[in-house]
Chains A and B, each alone.
Chain A
Amino acid sequence: MTSAAGRAGVWRRLLGDRVSRACLAFLGVVALASLAAPLLPLPSPSALRLQDEPLPPVPPWRELFRRGHRADTRELAWPDARLAGLRERLFGDLETAPWLGTDSKGRDLLARVVWGSRTSILAALAAGLASLAIGVLYGAVAGLAGARTDNLMMRAVDGLQSLPFVFLVIFLIGIVNAHRAELASRFGVGREAVFFLVIGAVSWLTMARVVRGQVRLLRRAPFVEAAHVSGASPARILFVHVLPNVLPVVVASLTLTIPSVMLTEAFLSFLGLGVEPPHVSWGILAADGVEAINPVRIAWWLVAAPAAGLGSVLLALNLLGDGLRDALDPRTSRG
């Protein structure tokens, strides 16, 4: 499995599957669009045009572009600022018509959905990095260590996992929120940073458990014993011999962690406990949609747009995860 040929086989099997290929392409487009958001000829996601009512969608075949783009009022960090400058030169004051409509404050919904995907991707990155850095290492060390250490380390994971984490996270974020001015002045961390730290900190537990189980199986394997006998250091055994062989389960576990973390991010932002304006998140958009529900005038696009964004990305991730697990384990067949 670890050889280049084995990996090529996984890729071939994955790309041979029509559903996986489509999901991969779709997710690639979403990731590109969200990275290049400042470059795209979208209206500003935060510039307000105060009006009474949200405007319904104008389909692109009726009106493609309009003039009158106003530059973003937010401070952008450098890669985004460069991209925004490039956009200025490329498109001038051209911007897309409200293809998905606008919200009640006149902000373009398509722009907000695209910018909102960045928050989801950040959450996925935080969880993915924490899973890889903490989860894999913790699991591998527990798996290779003696029975006593292993027992202690895994009981700690058990204990943490038996807590209903969403409640603790909300509790924690509530406390952080109340004192964020103090936190910012004393430690220089914003609320967003704390939010992503918390998300990362709770998402490595499953990975640790899965990796530990696999390492436990591997540590009596002949090639590990051979490495041991030929005098390899524990670190070398861990990084050179064991870790490459747990790669399949790591990938399979990531495909389950990442969608669930994106859900958690949207969930918390929906409750007003995640990122906050001027940042955008699909959870915030969904909350706006719920607020806009009233029997007098139905602004269905405010509900449908975040639902479509979240639903399609999570569906694609789930399907891709299924395909990846099948590709990694050639014995399982679809059915």
Chain B
Amino acid sequence: MIPFLARRLLWFAATLLAVATASFFLMRAVPGGPFDAERRLDPTIERNLRARYHLEWPLAKQYLAYLGPLNLDERRARVLGGDGTRVLGGVLAGDFGPSLRYRDQTVGDLLGESLPLSLALGALALAGAVAAGLAAGIVSAVRRGGAVDFLLRGTAALCLALPSFVLASLLVLLFALLLPILPVAGTGGWRHLVLPAVALGAPIAANVARLARTGMLETLSAEFVRAARAKGLPERIVLLRHALPGALLPVASYLGPAAAGVLTGSLVVERIFAIPGAGSHFVNSALNRDYTLAMGVTIVYCALVYGLNTAVDVVHRLLDPRAAEVP
């Protein structure tokens, strides 16, 4: 387990470094600076702006300053000839620099405001989707071939075919306008999170239901389940204690991609429901060329997905020791 985690950590660091490097050089490789295409600025203002964002530094120095962890600007570490008030800086020190668009805020401030909201929505969607998907999958497997099974599988197929942004607008139409029981958009109480969470979670619930159904069907026909039934155990115990754990494995390994799906889906769902989360910040930053913010969100989301994938792999290894033997 330890070497596995160490290897993952190494890959993680390499991946993040690659992402940060690639996005930095992509951003700087394109012709013109971030302030060029706007309305013509006064040359003095433009010079000041460029100085504030250190755009006049040589590229290598800008890169090092962006990456960190040693702070290279005028208040840099004492060893580098500064006044030592800020020693650390750059991505490695968790500082993504100032936002290019919201000029009085840093990327860190913006993420601090918006990320908790996105995480709450994502966690709610994921938890709800797994719970609903598992329930549907189990019922579907037990009632295999029946009307309930047919209905549940049809719903799942539909949820997989409808992208979350289409589902979101249909939900708003149905449950906020035709039947005004939930708010259309915005933030406030938990009621504001219901529709976005359903829109985000539906495709994941559908996938979980499919995996759980297949897994349950497999374990239900296994010898040990027949043995449990032969012992005269009540059906509930047979299903939940004997058959279900085996069916959970494929669901557990799907959780990593599911989390990535939630993060991706949040880009559109936050936009539709006007939720000021990190996802909508990201889309806006890509649209109005706020490179530092876009890079910050990219790096944070990469880290989240990678961390979740590793956590899922660890859980998988704990559940099924055979997984550890495959390199």
> Which chain A residues have a beta carbon within 8 Å of chain B's beta carbons?
159, 162-164, 166-168, 170-175, 177-179, 182, 259, 263, 266-267, 270-273, 283, 286-287, 289-290, 293, 295, 298, 300, 303-304, 306-307, 310-312, 314-315, 318-319, 335
Could you tell me if A286 and B166 are in contact, using CB atoms closer than 8 angstroms? yes
Is chain A's binding surface mostly helix, strand, loop or mixed? helix
| Binary contact track B243-276/A, C-beta < 8 Å → 1, others 0 | 0000000000000000010011001100110000
Count: A-B pairs, CB below 8 Å: 139
- Kindly specify which of B58-66, B85-93, B122-130, B292-300 makes contact with the partner chain: B292-300
B114 within 8 A of A: no
Could you tell me if A290 and B165 are in contact, using CB atoms closer than 8 angstroms? yes
Could you tell me if B302 and A167 are in contact, using CB atoms closer than 8 angstroms? yes
B282 within 8 A of A: yes
CA distance A196 to B46 in the complex (A): 35
Could you tell me if B169 and A293 are in contact, using CB atoms closer than 8 angstroms? yes
- Chain A residues with CB under 8 Å of B312's CB are none
Q: A172-B26, A298-B177 are in contact. Are A290 and B163 (CB under 8 A)?
A: no
Could you tell me if A271 and B158 are in contact, using CB atoms closer than 8 angstroms? no
A162 CB contact (under 8 Å) in B15, B170, B178, B268: B15
- Kindly specify which of B29-37, B70-78, B229-237 makes contact with the partner chain: B29-37
Shortest distance between the CB of B303 and any CB in chain A (Å): 10
Could you tell me if A286 and B165 are in contact, using CB atoms closer than 8 angstroms? yes
Shortest distance between the CB of B4 and any CB in chain A (Å): 15
Residue of A nearest to B302 (CB): A164
CA distance A182 to B184 in the complex (A): 41
A-B contacts, 15 of them at CB < 8 A, read: A164-B305, A166-B264, A167-B298, A168-B19, A171-B295, A175-B30, A179-B32, A271-B287, A286-B166, A287-B165, A303-B169, A307-B169, A314-B161, A315-B157, A319-B157
CA distance A182 to B37 in the complex (A): 11
- Chain B residues with CB under 8 Å of A286's CB are 163, 165-166, 169
> Which chain B residues have a beta carbon within 8 Å of chain A's beta carbons?
11, 14-15, 18-19, 22-23, 26-27, 30-32, 37, 144-145, 157-158, 160-163, 165-166, 168-170, 172-173, 177-178, 184, 217, 260, 263-264, 267-268, 271-272, 282-283, 285-287, 289, 291, 294-295, 297-298, 301-302, 305-306, 309
CA distance A265 to B96 in the complex (A): 30
Could you tell me if A266 and B11 are in contact, using CB atoms closer than 8 angstroms? no
Could you tell me if A179 and B173 are in contact, using CB atoms closer than 8 angstroms? no
Residue of B nearest to A181 (CB): B37
- Chain A residues with CB under 8 Å of B260's CB are 164
Could you tell me if B263 and A307 are in contact, using CB atoms closer than 8 angstroms? no
Q: A159-B18, A168-B298, A174-B286 are in contact. Are A307 and B162 (CB under 8 A)?
A: yes
Could you tell me if B160 and A298 are in contact, using CB atoms closer than 8 angstroms? no
Could you tell me if A310 and B302 are in contact, using CB atoms closer than 8 angstroms? no
Could you tell me if A267 and B268 are in contact, using CB atoms closer than 8 angstroms? yes
Shortest distance between the CB of A274 and any CB in chain B (Å): 12
Q: A178-B37, A286-B166 are in contact. Are A171 and B26 (CB under 8 A)?
A: yes
Q: A164-B264, A164-B302, A271-B268 are in contact. Are A335 and B217 (CB under 8 A)?
A: yes
- Chain B residues with CB under 8 Å of A177's CB are 287
CA distance A177 to B34 in the complex (A): 12
- Chain B residues with CB under 8 Å of A293's CB are 169, 172-173, 177, 184
Could you tell me if A174 and B294 are in contact, using CB atoms closer than 8 angstroms? yes
Residue of B nearest to A316 (CB): B161
Residue of A nearest to B26 (CB): A175
Q: Which of A266, A293, A312 has the most CB of B within 10 A?
A: A293
Q: A170-B286, A170-B294, A312-B161 are in contact. List 16 more A-B contacts (CB 8 A).
A: A159-B14, A164-B305, A166-B264, A167-B302, A174-B286, A174-B294, A178-B289, A182-B31, A267-B264, A273-B283, A273-B287, A286-B169, A290-B168, A293-B169, A293-B177, A303-B170
- Chain B residues with CB under 8 Å of A172's CB are 26
